[in-house]
Amino acid sequence: MGGVLEEISEGHVRVLKLNRPERLHAINRELADAMVAALERAEDDDQVRAVVVTGCGDKAFCAGQDMLEATGVEPGAAGGGTSSAYRAVERFQASPLPLIAAINGYCFGGGALLAIACDIRLAAEHATFRLPGAAYGLVVGAAMLPRLVGAARAKELIFTARRFDAERALTWGLLNHVLRADELLPAALTMAHEIAENSATAVRESKRIIDLASIVEHAVTTENAINSELRGSEEQSARFRTATHAVTGR
């Protein structure tokens, strides 16, 4: 089970809280559906001018694609094609609304991609990050991370698949700000309200132009196509099952 808690902050700001704490908000088909539906409700509401995305609690923002679903241990999106996490991330990436990620803990894999898909990223001091695609036999973040941290740093983080902390993420350009855990959501809401006070049209068009100037669509579509081929391959399945067993013992 899993869903999204939706909260309204003073009318113009919508807060979306991933709510699957038993799996550190890992994205399965159900959660992906809830994320997309919640975002579309925000987009359809003319009063909403900014969205804050976070995880319930203080342990995790999003642990990425649900490993049990991806390996077929639990039903869902096992095998080739587009994963639940990628489907949700792609929808958030396409949103015209300004999105602020309030990263309140683990931010791994598809969760890191979700944060990257947002326009602005704030994180708690204890937040940790990882792009584990190379360890799992997939390409994760190669299309989008370089525009934030540069090619050489993106290669280091993606090729090694190592964990890194919020201070490194800030220094390298992945984050806008690092805050104490109790300051994180209030700071995200303050920024969202500042954005909401400006012209909604100007903000949306500014987002569109900045993205046109900095996102290489061919790279994004190519990464997705490569993963569609890799996902479910013999090597990828073996790597993912090994990682799942290490994490869950199943």
- Flag whether 206 is in a domain: no
Q: What's the order of all strands across the beta sheet hosting 3-9? A: 3-9, 13-19, 50-55, 99-103, 120-124, 177-179
Report the 10 Å Cβ neighbour count for 24.
20
- Flag whether 197 is in a domain: no
Tell me which residue range forms the domain holding 121: 3-182+216-248
- Flag whether 190 is in a domain: no
User: Which pLDDT tens digit goes with each residue over 76-130?
Assistant: 544 445 578 889 999 999 999 999 999 999 999 999 999 999 999 999 999 999 9
CA nearest neighbour of 132 among 220, 58, 240: 240
- Flag whether 34 is in a domain: yes
pLDDT (tens place) for every residue of the chain, 250 residues total? 569 999 999 889 999 999 999 999 999 999 999 999 999 999 999 999 999 999 999 999 999 999 777 665 555 544 445 578 889 999 999 999 999 999 999 999 999 999 999 999 999 999 999 999 999 899 999 999 999 999 999 999 999 999 999 999 999 999 999 999 999 999 999 999 999 999 999 999 999 999 999 988 888 888 888 888 887 778 877 776 776 655 555 5
Give the whole-angstrom CA distance, residue 127 versus residue 125: 6
**CATH classification of the domain holding 127:** 3.90.226.10
The pTM (predicted TM-score) of the whole model is 0.90
Q: How many structural domains comprise the chain?
A: 1
Query: Could you tell me the two tokens for 14?
Result: 């919508």
Beta bridge partners of 5: 17
Give the whole-angstrom CA distance, residue 235 versus residue 24: 26
